[in-house]
Structure 1
Amino acid sequence: MTSLLLPTAPTAGVTARVRSGARPAGGAPKRERVVTLDLMRGYYVGVLAAIHLGYLPSLLGLFDGHGGLLTSEAEGFFMISGLLVGMLRRRDLERHGMARVVRNSWQRAGRLYVVAVSLTLLFSCVGRLAVAHGRPQVKVGLDDHSTPLALVVNALTLRYTYGWADFLTFYVPMFLLAPLAVWLLSRRLAALVLLAAYAGFVLPSCYDTGSGSPFLQWGVYFFLGMTAGYHWDDLRRLPTRMPPGTWRVLRTGLIVAALLLYAVGTVLLYHPDLASSAGYDSLFQNNRLGLLRPLVAPVSFAGTYLLIRRFEEPIARTAGKVLLPFGRSSLYVYVAQSFFVFLVPFAFGARGFWFNTVIDLSIIAAIQLALRARFLAFLVPA
């Protein structure tokens, strides 16, 4: 799901709120960060370690769903990434033209490609050494049979990815295609972008799309977010263009819908017998390829955004002490958690509720300390 932003690591200038009267020399409104989005992204990337580690039962495991709800943190993470890319690349387009859009998008793709391939090779080496020394706790998916040359070639061509930072690999083609999406959005062809993204999402359920499946699965959320980000200023002004009563009803409806999606998903997660039909699986699960997931995810995201924005200040003063730094340095946090999740199982496995909870919270605390120290930050692109 750059600053991680995974992949869209927006710079400190990205935002959503325009300060009245504050305009730079070029005449464009001066922007500040969108605190609500930083809080959301901080949560999404902050709980990834607990989700990937999967030590249950635990405190975080009681409510994070571990990817089994009607919509998950991963979908939200990719939507925020796309949303910020849409904001940034529209700004590039309007200020500097299409060449700048292509350059910035492809530079980001290149940086993420280097980090993703390097991590795949590093984790593969560690995994092979662990297997050779009789340690079976390695993450599944390890290529332990190809020759070193074949492994390197497969990693370089993105046909093989390994470790807990595999989202980076999925982002590379998204950033390569981002300029095309910006061009289509500038031609008012948002419907074409969304239809193409959804068609790609459906494709792995119908055909063997091989190593391209993860990109198609997660790309729909990235381009959903990108479309919203490109039209962010219009969306931000939407409440002023509606009768107050209409906006209140819409806002309340989205918040209630988000809460209901979470509540229903949680009930079904702990009582799978209530949703044991093949129809439910094909619509909402199917290894997160359920056909309705890309339709309910934006509703959940919008309702969550409005709810958090309503309580933004108290959240920022409390949980925001952790969430905001995580959200603003999400690529660094994402890479850091991938090491913890990969290595912790070699030390100990899941135990009881309190032990598992302590492990989850300890990883979050360790990442926070690493973030403050900026340890190895020079290896991670901003």
Structure 2
Amino acid sequence: MRRLEILDGMRGYFLVFMLLNHLAFAGGYLLVKVNHAELGFVQDAQGFVFLSGLLVGMVHARRMERKGFGDAAGKIWKRAGELYLYAMGCLALVLAAASLEPALLAYWQPWLGDLTPADGAMVGAAASLAYQPTYMDILPQYIVYLLAAPPLVWLCVHGRWASVAIGSAVLWLAVQLGVHLPVAEGVNAVLGTAGEGVRLRAAFNVLAWQIVFMGGLILGVLTATKRVEWQRVFTPERTGLVRLAVALLVFFLVWRVGFSFGLWPEAMAERFQAYEVRPEFSLVFLANFVALGWAVAWLLIAGPRSADARIRRAADLVGRPFQLPFLRLIGRHSLQVYAFHVPLAYAVMALDSHYGPFGETTKTLIAVTGVALLALPALAREADWRSLPGAGAPARADK
């Protein structure tokens, strides 16, 4: 399988589990527990953001080398504009539905917060991306990263990737130490002048989570410009770092199981949770993500060349899901599929609130149907519309 195909499969994998995690049923449901996040602290959003950065680096580094900064920057910034339209489309669809059926506001209040169709100030804050309803938060941060990406890609293309990496690490560390808090207070003070309750609302601190996207972007540029050869970095003989990665994953697995069954004393739990702040992508999440990323990359690249049959089987087992045509299909159109999943999750919450609570079988059927529906925007983008009477040329899947 080609490299981009397996990356599409990975993005599709993360999209499926994001949807499963975002479906809200009264009392929860069992299918969501069949999830890698139950075994540690690596979640789907992290992989999705990283792969997005990786592909930006891979695709636009080559374009920047061939056609210059202006052409690549124009493509990236155009993409940011398209994503803003997707974000506004999700927002408009949810608010329009709430305007037509007021009961939906009550169902969605935990996700919308103080946002209502009648509150112009709050709608304006949401349109500015300052106030982000639940699940409408990945696209805004991705827009910010795309706006910043062109000069960073240029620096990496011209050999200054270490400066980009250092800047990203310092920015992440600044968030961990709270340097951003006075800035957030100032922004909230300004937003508050627009109306009561208007404030910043986001599930992801864009200044902390950038380390995931920028890490992917740097590796993507290094790959595209052939400054790194992954077959040499990951070899069957070099097992020291992968052993360390597995040890870290086992260590955090023990913590995860302990939290699931309430095994840790309160003092220990409080100490651990100080480093487990998801919105700020704190140390626990960063360490887990790097460890799992290294282990999976080693298995996929070095594993098939290993003399140990057990490692070859493990590599095949890990890589097989990413070869599924369904996952590759939705992964090729990941951002459109992500935008589609937002109103889908809101629809399921309304369905459960109005007609539920459902039994476990019904919840599972709804969830599986939701996953299948993720193919709709991907199929629509790949459809050959020329077969329809009076239709023009089909939209290209890579645009």
TM-score (norm 2): 0.73
Question: Equivalent residue of 1:155, what SS?
Answer: helix
For 1:253-272, list aligned pairs within 5 A.
253-254=244-245, 256-257=246-247, 260=250, 263-264=253-254, 266-272=256-262
Give the match for residue 196 of structure 2. Answer: none
Task: State whether structure 2 residue 51 is matched by structure 1 residue 47.
Answer: no
For 1:62-81, list aligned pairs within 5 A.
62-65=34-37, 69-81=40-52
Task: State whether structure 2 residue 356 is matched by structure 1 residue 356.
Answer: no
Q: Structure 1 pair 336/77, CA: closer, same or farther in 2 (3 Å)? A: same
Q: Structure 1 pair 86/274, CA: closer, same or farther in 2 (3 Å)? A: same
Which one-letter code corresponds to 2:112 in the other structure? G
Pick the aligned partner of 2:272 from 280, 288, 291. 280
For 1:194-209, list aligned pairs within 5 A.
194-199=168-173, 201-202=175-176, 207=181, 209=184
> Offset of 1:369 from its aligned partner?
5.0
Distance of 1:206 and 1:268 partners within structure 2: 32
Which one-letter code corresponds to 1:341 in the other structure? A
Q: Structure 1 pair 191/134, CA: closer, same or farther in 2 (3 Å)? A: closer
User: Which structure: larger Rg?
Assistant: 2
Q: Structure 1 pair 196/183, CA: closer, same or farther in 2 (3 Å)? A: farther
Distance of 2:340 and 2:125 partners within structure 1: 24
Structure 1 vs Structure 2 CA RMSD: 3.6
> Offset of 1:80 from its aligned partner?
0.6
More deviation, 161-170/91-100: 161-170
Task: State whether structure 2 residue 147 is matched by structure 1 residue 176.
Answer: yes
Which one-letter code corresponds to 1:96 in the other structure? K
Give the match for residue 330 of structure 2. Answer: 326
Q: Structure 1 pair 231/300, CA: closer, same or farther in 2 (3 Å)? A: same
Task: State whether structure 2 residue 221 is matched by structure 1 residue 230.
Answer: yes
| Preserved contact between residue 107 and residue 350 of structure 2 (Cα < 8 Å) | yes
More deviation, 180-189/104-113: 180-189
> Offset of 1:370 from its aligned partner?
5.4
Give the match for residue 340 of structure 2. Answer: 336
Pick the aligned partner of 2:164 from 176, 184, 190. 190
Distance of 1:39 and 1:275 partners within structure 2: 40
Which one-letter code corresponds to 2:13 in the other structure? Y
Which one-letter code corresponds to 1:49 in the other structure? L
Distance of 2:343 and 2:382 partners within structure 1: 13
Which one-letter code corresponds to 1:198 in the other structure? W
Give the match for residue 4 of structure 1. Answer: none
> Offset of 1:291 from its aligned partner?
3.0
| Preserved contact between residue 193 and residue 223 of structure 1 (Cα < 8 Å) | no
Give the match for residue 373 of structure 2. Answer: 366
Distance of 1:47 and 1:242 partners within structure 2: 28
Distance of 1:63 and 1:148 partners within structure 2: 38
Give the match for residue 20 of structure 1. Answer: none
Which one-letter code corresponds to 1:191 in the other structure? A
Q: Structure 1 pair 106/284, CA: closer, same or farther in 2 (3 Å)? A: same
Q: Deviations over 1:75-109 (max 9, x none)?
A: 11111111111112211221122222321221111
Pick the aligned partner of 1:59 from 25, 31, 50. 31
Task: State whether structure 2 residue 185 is matched by structure 1 residue 214.
Answer: no
More deviation, 357-366/44-53: 357-366
| Preserved contact between residue 44 and residue 77 of structure 1 (Cα < 8 Å) | yes
Distance of 2:166 and 2:91 partners within structure 1: 34
> Offset of 1:204 from its aligned partner?
5.8
Task: State whether structure 2 residue 337 is matched by structure 1 residue 347.
Answer: no
In structure 2, the gaps of 5 or more residues are: 189-199, 304-314, 384-393
| Preserved contact between residue 111 and residue 381 of structure 1 (Cα < 8 Å) | no
Which one-letter code corresponds to 2:336 in the other structure? Y
> Offset of 1:50 from its aligned partner?
1.1
Q: Structure 1 pair 41/169, CA: closer, same or farther in 2 (3 Å)? A: same
| Preserved contact between residue 165 and residue 218 of structure 2 (Cα < 8 Å) | no
Which one-letter code corresponds to 1:88 in the other structure? V
Give the match for residue 36 of structure 1. Answer: 6
In structure 1, the gaps of 5 or more residues are: 1-16, 18-31
For 1:59-208, list aligned pairs within 5 A.
59-65=31-37, 69-130=40-101, 132-133=102-103, 136-138=106-108, 139-144=110-115, 147=118, 149-162=120-133, 164-185=135-156, 186=158, 187-188=160-161, 189-199=163-173, 201-202=175-176, 207=181
TM-score (norm 1): 0.76
Distance of 1:105 and 1:172 partners within structure 2: 10
Give the match for residue 293 of structure 2. Answer: 301
> Offset of 1:175 from its aligned partner?
0.5
Question: Equivalent residue of 2:283, what SS?
Answer: coil
| Preserved contact between residue 37 and residue 305 of structure 1 (Cα < 8 Å) | no
Which one-letter code corresponds to 1:337 in the other structure? H
Question: Equivalent residue of 1:140, what SS?
Answer: helix
| Preserved contact between residue 268 and residue 274 of structure 1 (Cα < 8 Å) | yes
Distance of 2:137 and 2:235 partners within structure 1: 45
Distance of 1:169 and 1:44 partners within structure 2: 18
Q: Structure 1 pair 225/201, CA: closer, same or farther in 2 (3 Å)? A: farther
Q: How many residues align?
A: 347
Give the match for residue 10 of structure 1. Answer: none
Q: Structure 1 pair 219/61, CA: closer, same or farther in 2 (3 Å)? A: same
Which one-letter code corresponds to 1:156 in the other structure? A
